[in-house]
Amino acid sequence: MAAPPVSTRRSVRAVIAIVAATLAAGAALALEPAEIDRRADDLIARMTLEEKVGQLTLVSQGPGYRPEMVLSGRVGAVINFNNPQDIAAAQAAARRSRLGIPLLFGLDVLHGFRTMFPLPLAETATFDPDLARLAATWAAREAAYVGVQWTYAPMADLSRDPRWGRMIEGFGEDPLLGRSFTSARIAGFHAGGLATSVKHFAGYSAGAGGRDYDETEIPPATLHDLYLPPFKAAVEAGTETVMSAFNALNGIPSTANPALLTGLLRDTWGFDGFVVSDWSAISELVAHGIAADDAEAGRIAIQAGVDMDMMSGVYERTLADEVKAGRVPQAVLDRAVRRVLRTKLRVGLFERSDADPSRTDAVFPTPESRQAARAVARESMVLLRNEAGTLPLAAGRSIAVVGALATSPLDLIGPHGARGHAQDGIDVLGAIKERAAGAGASVAFAPGCDGMCADGSGFDAAIDAAGRADLVVAVLGEPVDMTGEAASRAYLTPPGRQRELLERLVATGKPVVLVLIAGRPLELGPVVDRLAALLLAWYPGTEGGHALAEILFGDVNPSGKLPVSYPRTVGQVPLVYNRLPTGRPTRADNRFTLRYFDERVDPLYPFGFGLSYTRFAFSDLVLPRDGLSQGDTLQVTATVRNAGDRAGRVAVQLYLRDLVASRSRPVRELKAFRKIALEPGERRSLTLEVPVAELGFHGEDGSYRVEPGRFQVWLGEDSAADLTGFVEVR
Ligand code: BGC
């Protein structure tokens, strides 16, 4: 990137100084726990019933927002305020209320505020939690700069179903990735100055049929082994709040589940922040058939442990009367209010200076935030296929770029764009042209069709452009509206006639590099075997265009790995690597084994998979010879060699299987990973460690145990790694 002009550099320095000062001030505000309790109790003693209910009420910026609610102390927190003028005005109203209790300003800040980073699933593909921490730090810094204080993130929902559009907001199908990335994101948000709300507790991602908001059935042992550990990690990482989920889990809506929200979360895990409902989820208890009316819904939710009502207005409308009538004990109300006030005191809201209305998020992106966004985007893209070294692109060739997504920077931002602006980024075509100019390559463009590709009238022009070029870069996938919340899909194909366009491009005989812009693995059909290369770019953010061009032209060696298995077809879903074994493992010569009649049973690309422009070789596996005791740490050492002629980064992955146990255990489980950089020819001896305490599993009653016996170990660069050995746990 060219050096920024002097005036920009000065403003950047000013921004960094202000951000640093804000953070330092926040750190200095930390109050002693006893002082927090004293002040919370003192306020509670002085509050009216209506003011107490107010602290449990969260409203949104928008048509329903009335400043007088804040002035009269009937709102405790707000969502969707995202500029400092509105934030300052609302906070000033709160300060003028009778007790002057400040509002908490929340927003969905997932993958950036103004500078957009890749979506969380894409960040997870880096297999480098430090990069997720960096992204979260920047997102928080920028949001905190304009006065946002609280993010509804990270999403800690393990997702095993790509039909579910929200898969892109999480970390994929593996609980270790879930724990590592959830903790890293919380640390990053905190470092940048935001409080967090881990969500959606619990089981939201397993909606039947991949349908958003649908019921989920998760057996207790599976819940404890797979779905809950990332949430537990969030509590350990100090999340200030937890968001309860919309769904019914095993027949009980999570918003009405005391065993989850109080028993597990507080009594077992020791969480002592507050729980906020998801959007209107309390009133939805009526539609769930759990409550007859709003008043009952409110009673059930607050008793279960939902402290704050996001946008259903149930607490506001009914709670005071319920308390007066004795149907909700005063102590239950006070307990929720205390949790909210303590959290506000803990994060320093009472002492913090309010948002400065003269600020603007237009000071972002800065050169530094762009650099960070590009660093993450570079490592998030996953090279899935590269026949005969098609990539990186050779110099001096003529390239036909095809696909409307190549000229849409908005679609590079992805869902939950916060204050991201399309014009802050460069589109794919622009970035390819910019880079091609330096490589003596020529670039022609034909969209073929628009993003949804219902109309094929532009296909001929695209085929002509392909015919005149040496190589085609097709940029296809899901326009942003097709992914995220409320974007469950029954088909996993690219929309409209995109596949037909791709098939026609391939039929020209020109090598076709497919760049997929998408929130999940997409079903490409048989044409995938005829692609010259396939790069899953996800929604890569503000610097995504540049990062993509760097990969295509070989300035950057791709190193992303799939955080989810890539199915061949939607009919295989759910298809995950860490499945339980069957008594009839797949055999090609035996119909009566685990198979489909009409499709292969394995994924198109396995979990953890991703190619590089170099090759890595793994050898010399060293495992402990003696049995390990329960308190030990398993150390697995191997040599990793860069066997190619380019420098590269590789995510080394360690998998284990508990061979004989009292319950069937997964055929493989990721137990450790580390991303390392190797120069051409360089070899490194690497040791990955797993505490033996992490080799256990849960029973149906939620109890955890590590059983003695033999474990098989694999080490390599994806879940199909074949360097293997055995260890014994005593
Ligand atoms: C989503 C949450 C989000 C909330 C506020 C809900 O629809 O499920 O994840 O934080 O809206 O935007």
Burial of 637 (0-12, 13-18, 19+ CB in 10 A): middle
**Residue nearest atom 2 of ligand 1, based on CA coordinates:** 278
Closest Cα to residue 407, out of 350, 449, 362?
449
pLDDT category, 4, cuts 50, 70, 90?
very low
For ligand 1, say whether the CB of 485 is within 6 Å of any of its atoms: yes
- DSSP for 176-234 reads HHHHHHHHHHHHHHHHHT-EEEEEEETTGGG-GGG-TT--B---HHHIIIIISHHHHHH
Give mean pLDDT, residues 344-362: 95
* Structure confidence at residue 10 (pLDDT): 43
Which positions are catalytic? 278
Non-local CB neighbours of 220 within 8 Å, separated by 6+ positions: 698, 700, 701, 702
pLDDT at 33 over 70: yes
Tell me: pLDDT of 25 over 60.
no
For atom 11 of ligand 1, the residue with the nearest CA is: 279
Does any ligand 1 atom lie closer than 6 A to the CB of residue 80? no
Q: How far is the CA of 254 from the centre of ligand 1 (A)?
A: 15
pLDDT beyond 90 at 19: no
CA of 107 to the centre of ligand 1 (A): 9
Whether 445 contacts 406, CB under 8 Å: yes
Rounded distance between C-alpha atoms, residue 445 and residue 399, angstroms:
8
Name the residue at shortest CA distance from atom 6 of ligand 1. 279
* Per-residue confidence (pLDDT) for residue 64, from 0 to 100: 80
Ligand 1, atom nearest to 169 Cα? 9
How many Å lie between the centroid of ligand 1 and the Cα of residue 8? Answer: 35
Element (H, E) at 401: strand 398-402
Higher pLDDT, 30 or 268: 268
Tell me how far the alpha carbon of residue 260 lies from the centroid of ligand 1, in angstroms: 20
Cα–ligand 1 centroid distance for 286 (angstroms): 19
Calculate the dihedral angle through the C-alpha atoms of 89, 10, 6, 541, rounding to the nearest 10 degrees: -60
Q: Residue holding tokens 């951000």?
A: 19
Q: Which of 150, 212, 485, 488 to mutate to test the pocket of ligand 1 (most atoms within 8 A of CB)?
A: 485
108 lines ligand 1 (CB under 6 A): yes
And the tokens for 663? 């319950």
Peptide bond connecting 365 to the previous residue in cis, omega within 30 degrees of 0? yes
Residue of minimum CA distance from atom 4 in ligand 1: 279
Nearest CA to ligand 1 atom 10: 152
What number does the ligand 1 atom closest to the CA of 486 have? Answer: 7
Ligand 1 pocket member 204 (CB < 6 A): no
Please tell me the total number of residues recorded for the chain in this structure: 730
200-244 residue pLDDT tens? 999 999 999 999 999 999 999 999 999 999 999 999 999 999 999
In this structure, are residues 532 and 466 in contact, taking their beta carbons and an 8 Å threshold?
Answer: no
Q: Are strands 274-276 and 241-244 parallel, antiparallel or unpaired?
A: parallel
Q: Distance between CA 159 and CA 169 in Å, rounded?
A: 10
* Mean pLDDT (whole number) for 602-618: 98
| Sheet order of strands, 382-386 included | 382-386, 533-536, 512-517, 471-477, 398-402, 442-446
Does 16 score more than 60 pLDDT? no
Q: How confident is the model at residue 427 (pLDDT cuts 50, 70, 90)?
A: very high
427, 493 Cβ separation under 8 angstroms: no
- Cβ(607)–Cβ(719) under 8 Å? yes
pLDDT at 21 (0 to 100): 47
Indicate if ligand 1 lies below 6 Å from the C-beta of 609. Answer: no
Q: pLDDT digits over 281-305, tens only?
A: 999 999 999 999 999 999 999 999 9
Contact 86 CB / ligand 1 (< 6 Å)? no
Model confidence over 306-329: pLDDT tens digits? 999 999 999 999 999 999 999 999
pLDDT tens-place string over residues 568-596: 999 999 999 999 999 999 999 999 999 99
Residue 27 confidence (pLDDT) above 70:
no
> Rounded to the nearest whole angstrom, what is the distance from the C-alpha of residue 410 to the centroid of ligand 1?
21
Tell me the pLDDT tens digit for each residue of 35-46: 999 999 999 999
Q: Specify the residue for token string 């849960």.
A: 698
Distance 279 CA to ligand 1 centre (A): 6
* Interval between CA 202 and ligand 1 midpoint (Å): 14
Could you give the angle at which helices 294-304 and 330-346 cross, rounded to 10 degrees?
Answer: 60
Q: What pLDDT is stored for residue 63 in this prediction? A: 84
Task: Name residue 354's beta-bridge partners.
Answer: none
pLDDT digits (tens, 9 = 90+) for 524-539: 999 999 999 999 999 9
Atom 8 of ligand 1 has which residue's CA nearest to it? 278
Of all protein residues, the one whose alpha carbon is nearest to atom 12 of ligand 1 is: 108
Q: Helix, strand or coil for residue 382?
A: strand
**Contact 213 CB / ligand 1 (< 6 Å):** no
Average pLDDT, the chain: 95
* 152 Cα–ligand 1 center, Å: 7
Name the residue type at position 724.
Answer: T
Region of 364 on the Ramachandran plot (φ > 0 left; ψ -120 to 50 alpha; else beta): beta
Closest approach atom of ligand 1 to CA 197: 10
Nearest residue by C-alpha to atom 7 in ligand 1: 279
643 pLDDT higher than 60: yes
Name which of 125, 237, 231 is nearest 184 in CA terms.
237
Asked if residue 416 has its Cβ within 6 Å of ligand 1, the reply is no
- DSSP bridge partners of 638: 686
* Ligand 1 contact, 284 CB (< 6 A): no
Residue with tokens 């048989």: 526
pLDDT mean over 594-619: 98
Q: What's the count of helices (H) and strands (E) in the chain, helices before strands?
A: 22, 25
* 431 half-sphere exposure, CB direction, 13 A CA radius: 27
278 in ligand 1 pocket by Cβ < 6 Å? Answer: yes
- pTM of this prediction? 0.96
Asked whether 199 lines ligand 1 (CB < 6 A), one says yes
279 Cβ below 6 A of ligand 1: yes
Termini Cα distance of the chain: 56
- Looking at residue 117, the DSSP 8-state letter turns out to be P
Residue in the block written with tokens 């030990």: 632
Q: What is the whole-number distance in angstroms between the Cα of residue 461 and the centre of ligand 1?
A: 42
Nearest ligand 1 atom to alpha carbon 199: 9
Beta strands 723-729 and 709-716 are antiparallel
pLDDT given at position 29: 62
